[in-house]
Structure 1
Amino acid sequence: MIDLPRRLVAEALGTAILVVTVVGSGIMAETLTTDTALALLANTIATGSILVVLISCLGPISGAHFNPAVSLVFTLRDELPARDATLYALVQVAGGIVGAVIAHAMFERALLQSSTHVRTGGAQWFSEGVATFGLVAVILAGIRFERKAVPMLVGLYITAAYWFTASTSFANPAVAIARSFTDTFSGIRPLDVPGFIVAQVAGALLALALMSWLLRVPAGGHLPINPEDRT
């Protein structure tokens, strides 16, 4: 296993680059167009693409969580010590905030901001629960059946979830916190962050419970994949 300091740097770096992409592409999009749908599409493509890159490059070092909810799930699966998960979460949040500052610097915006973008209410919270449930389910199923495809699976899932959720699929407590530090296209009002985090954690735990049952290896020793195997 890679030593903890290098894993923590990978988690901080990956989360920082993820937030740079989310915030930076949002700023670029709203600079180039007044069409909200087009701006969201640009934001979506950039985010989904960078996730594929980051997970492929940093996954072998730290697991490429970049997300405290994902780290929590792997702790509950006894695959990540609780102490490591706590440190992962801390560096993920710190990296995300640094990422927001870097994005602001690139576009000559005030480095430290507080978002005024209201994102609250039952539909938004439910959307975050659904988004995070799906993300964790995709990760666990991908690891079980097609580990090499996980980067693409996650990138494609988040790309889709931007559009089928009312919240545009934050699905990540660290990213939600970081986005409260930007008063741009991708921001979220700090007051609204706790509701998002509660929903994200709930969605992650529900996905863990369901997928632990769904992916459980039967007594025969393997899960049937092909119809011919289901005897």
Structure 2
Amino acid sequence: MTIDQIIALSASVGAFLAAIATFLTVRQMVQQRVASYRPELVISRTHFEGSQDPVIPSHWVPKLSTQAAGEGFPFFSMPLVNVGLGTAKNLLIRWSFPIEEMVAQVNQLAQRTLTPVYFDLENGVLTIKSDTLGNGASIWRNQQEESLDYLLPVSIQKDSSVIRLPLVFVQLCSALLYLAAKDKDRADFPVTPILSAQIDFLDIGGKRHSTNYDISLQIVMFGGDGKFFHGYLESNKRS
């Protein structure tokens, strides 16, 4: 091989390596750009007050709300914010929590405190039976999913969207706190179960994403024999 051939071969190899480096750089830039426009969803911490409705404190009102204490407020909501740079669309929220265990826990506590109330879960419907607290039904199977058409980045959409918590979860947590306040022999205040939220959505490129959150109820104070309390709900994103 002559010197000219060696030089030509070296130039070809150098050009080939430069082309590979350019390709890798461009691909990395594209990946970074796509990642930078991915939506990032956050469920904001929400402080609230729970008051009797009519006896159990299942009337939850966010502390920043202008809602009056006597006004109807059938569904409690938490802010959902998109802190990413891209729009999320076709959002589907799925709720879950150990409802059977919670119903059993509430009924056991009602027996221990001699409170005439009984909760029953059958075919996805939660019913309450009580001569003193009232009767009613809450259809759990129709509260397990919620949807949003889209959620813009917070830099564009200044007002956050909200997601409604399942009414069944609010009712059972309220009943648990009310009955626990009546339990004079309690060693500690009961811990309410985790409410899990799975949020599926599409980004602007049509790619599907899924995130999971654990929402916990923290009690700050209660009074009136469990007929009112202050607390907050906070969420933790699961990997």
TM-score interval w.r.t. the shorter chain? under 0.3
Larger Cα-atom Rg: 2
Instruction: Report the TM-score, using the length of structure 1 for normalisation.
Output: 0.26
TM-score by length of 2: 0.25
The structure whose residues are more often strand, as a share, is 2
Which has more helix, going by share of residues?
1
